[in-house]
Amino acid sequence: MSMSMASKPAPPATAGARTAPHGVGLAQFVLGLGGLFIGTGEFAAMGLLPDFARSVNVSIPEAGHLISAYALGVVVGSPLVAVVTARMERRRLLVLLALTVLAGNVLTALAPSFGGLALARFLAGLPHGAYYGTASIVAASMVPHERRASAIGRVMLGLAVANVIGVPVTTWLGQTFGWHAAFAAIGLGGALLAVLLPLTVPAVPAHADASPLGELSAFRSLSVWMTLLTAAIGFAGMFAIYSYITPTLTQVTGEPATRVPLFLGLLGLGMVAGNLVGGRLTDRAQTATILGVQAWNVVFFVAFALAATSAIGTAAVLFLIGMGFAAVPALQARLMDVAPGAQSLAAAMNHSAFNLSNAIGAWAGGIGIAAGWGFASTGYVAAAFAALGLAVFALTIFLDRRRHAA
């Protein structure tokens, strides 16, 4: 069910096989490494939340506002950076974003108070969406158009690997040397990235017609809004489960807290596998991949609720839920297609949508638990969101085809 050639937008002017200084593979690795550092900075805060709370003498729910501060930074930073830097050369922009990662996380490590922490977490969130969006554009520029989704998937691989390697390592650092050390290490990752990017990634000029107003034109596209809505709603389900996975495993599955990281590692491995598979599938059939993954999520979110009392069943289902990450490179590629004159903004806004889905999922899952449905009910809540995301995207494709046929 892929889009017909007549309905597929022309490749952007920046697409094509640009030559990386030391090969495409190394350039993609460094771009993905940036995704690893940024993803680790986002998710590590969740694991170290009790340490934050004790350090600045607030309750854990109050410390949760620090996660919200980061998410707000992503939502604000994604469109703001894309518009302000519309004419900036892309590699230079990536270096600037890496330096912001350095600043945001070092300031987090040095913050003396709750207010300072909140400000630092907001700053750390500013480069998040803009980095993934810009890195996706740069990665796509180094390969032929028909292989760009796989290239985007390798950038997003860093975000998936953060859950397998980055978060466990920084959690250990935080528990052993204090949470300040964990965020100082992430800041050093930003410094390393700022050094490696100019050495490995080719210069990619902004689109010849790029301008702040041109980037803002993405907001006039119904297809852009509908695709963002698909991401925000469709992925809320995954976060409904992820937000309450620890109490589900300990209180429903009956696993000791010491085994929770093993289950989370399986989820992360599923994300890695899904990311790689999703890029390849998107190169062959973008629309079918997005629809298929949403349907996949409906099935395995329900399976999570049914298997929650079984350790083996839950472990298997969590890996398969992680595979649903396959839709991330597909949605990223679609946004670059439907906003050819505003790729930076559209690609960055994808991550604003995912952060919104994080908030929606955690809220909705909490409502079900508070209503007495139990922790396993997050699986049914998640399935409802995935089904709604599937319906939204199906409507998007229908409207696109009717508009092209007119």
For 210, the token pair is 């790029």
Residue 201 sits at φ, ψ, to 5 deg, of -105, 135
Instruction: Write down the pLDDT at residue 214.
Output: 63
User: For residue 244, with 0-12 CB atoms within 10 Å meaning exposed, 13-18 middle and 19 or more buried, which class applies?
Assistant: buried
Torsion of CA 97, 99, 102, 103, to 10 degrees: -100
Instruction: Write down the pLDDT at residue 191.
Output: 97
Q: How many residues does the chain have?
A: 406
Instruction: Write down the pLDDT at residue 60.
Output: 67
User: Please, are residues 100 and 123 in contact by the beta-carbon 8 Å criterion?
Assistant: yes
The helix (H) or strand (E) run that includes residue 24 is: helix 24-47
The helix (H) or strand (E) run that includes residue 271 is: helix 260-284
Instruction: Write down the pLDDT at residue 363.
Output: 84
CA angle 397, 400, 401 (to 5 degrees): 85
Instruction: Write down the pLDDT at residue 162.
Output: 87
Q: Which amino acid is at 120?
A: A
What DSSP designation does 19 have? P
Instruction: Write down the pLDDT at residue 1.
Output: 34
The helix (H) or strand (E) run that includes residue 125 is: helix 114-141
Instruction: Write down the pLDDT at residue 6.
Output: 35
Buried b (16+ CB within 10 A) or exposed e, 292-329: bbbebbbebbbbbbebbeebeebbbbbbbbbbbbbbbb
Model pLDDT for residues 101-121, shown as the tens digit of each residue: 999 999 999 998 999 999 999
What DSSP designation does 324 have? G
Instruction: Write down the pLDDT at residue 79.
Output: 84
Averaged in consecutive runs of 10 residues, what is the pLDDT profile of the chain (406 residues)?
36 55 90 93 78 82 78 86 86 95 95 92 92 89 84 84 84 86 95 96 77 67 89 90 86 88 87 88 91 96 96 96 90 82 74 83 85 92 96 93 79
Instruction: Write down the pLDDT at residue 406.
Output: 66
Quote the CA–CA distance of 51 and 73 in Å, as a whole number.
Answer: 22
Quote the CA–CA distance of 208 and 214 in Å, as a whole number.
Answer: 11
Quote the CA–CA distance of 16 and 44 in Å, as a whole number.
Answer: 36
User: For residue 174, with 0-12 CB atoms within 10 Å meaning exposed, 13-18 middle and 19 or more buried, which class applies?
Assistant: buried
User: Please, are residues 275 and 323 in contact by the beta-carbon 8 Å criterion?
Assistant: no
All domains of the chain, ordered by start, with CATH? 21-206 (1.20.1250.20), 209-406 (1.20.1250.20)
User: Please, are residues 253 and 367 in contact by the beta-carbon 8 Å criterion?
Assistant: no
